[in-house]
Amino acid sequence: MKASPTLTNNLQAVLADLIQLHVQGKQAHWNIVGTNFRDLHLQLDEIVEAARGFADETAERMRALHAVPDGRSSTVAKSTSLTEFPGGLIATKDAIERIVAALEAVVGTARKVHDEVDEEDPTSADLLHVIIEKLEQFAWMVNAENMKPTDDVTVPDTKKK
């Protein structure tokens, strides 16, 4: 099977977001300070490892479909749906909010392209299912760091101050 331009573009969008998630996760990992530093530091490594693995699987799936993945930093910077991560030190509370937003952005991209991907290539859609499941789990776990027992658990609020 050869990927259509639509399938290629959809998988490329997910790839760019996954690469950016990896980069942002490392930026946060290196520069977080504050309460629960060690737990978040280790959790970010798990997210980075998953993002790198999913990016590799996505790119290799593209190659299997005779599409050409583009992981260059300039391409990723231009095409990612993730908001730029700040430079410098960042409080754990703020890093949590930003990483949850980044995880949700990647999931949003994967969900946005899912139906078109599934229509053309259910195998690639299966990969999206795995990505969505794991990144949603990470978002829940990371977001729990900033939650209180009285918070509404049905709608994550990453905008809390």
The pair of three-digit structure tokens given for residue 108, joined into one six-digit string: 């949003």
Examine the pLDDT at 69 and tell me if it is beyond 70. yes
Examine the pLDDT at 131 and tell me if it is beyond 70. yes
Inside any domain, residue 155: no
If you average pLDDT over every residue of the chain, what do you get? 94
Inside any domain, residue 93: yes
Examine the pLDDT at 53 and tell me if it is beyond 50. yes
Please state, in angstroms and as integers, the Cα–Cα distance from residue 18 to each residue in 86, 89, 153, 154, following that order. 18, 23, 26, 25
Which DSSP helix (H) or strand (E) runs through 11? helix 5-31
Q: What is the residue range of 22's domain?
A: 5-144
Inside any domain, residue 36: yes
Main-chain dihedrals φ then ψ at residue 40, nearest 5 degrees = -70, -40
The pair of three-digit structure tokens given for residue 9, joined into one six-digit string: 């573009």
Inside any domain, residue 158: no
pTM of the model: 0.93
Beta bridge partners of 32: 90
Task: Count up the domains in the chain and report the number.
Answer: 1
Which one-letter amino acid corresponds to residue 41?
H
The SS3 of residue 88 is: coil
pLDDT tens figures, 93-106: 999 999 999 999 99
Mean pLDDT, range 53-73, rounded to an integer = 98
Inside any domain, residue 149: no
Q: How confident is the model at residue 155 (pLDDT cuts 50, 70, 90)?
A: low
pLDDT tens figures, 2-41: 999 999 999 999 999 999 999 999 999 999 999 999 999 9
For the domain that residue 126 is a member of, what is the CATH number?
1.20.1260.10
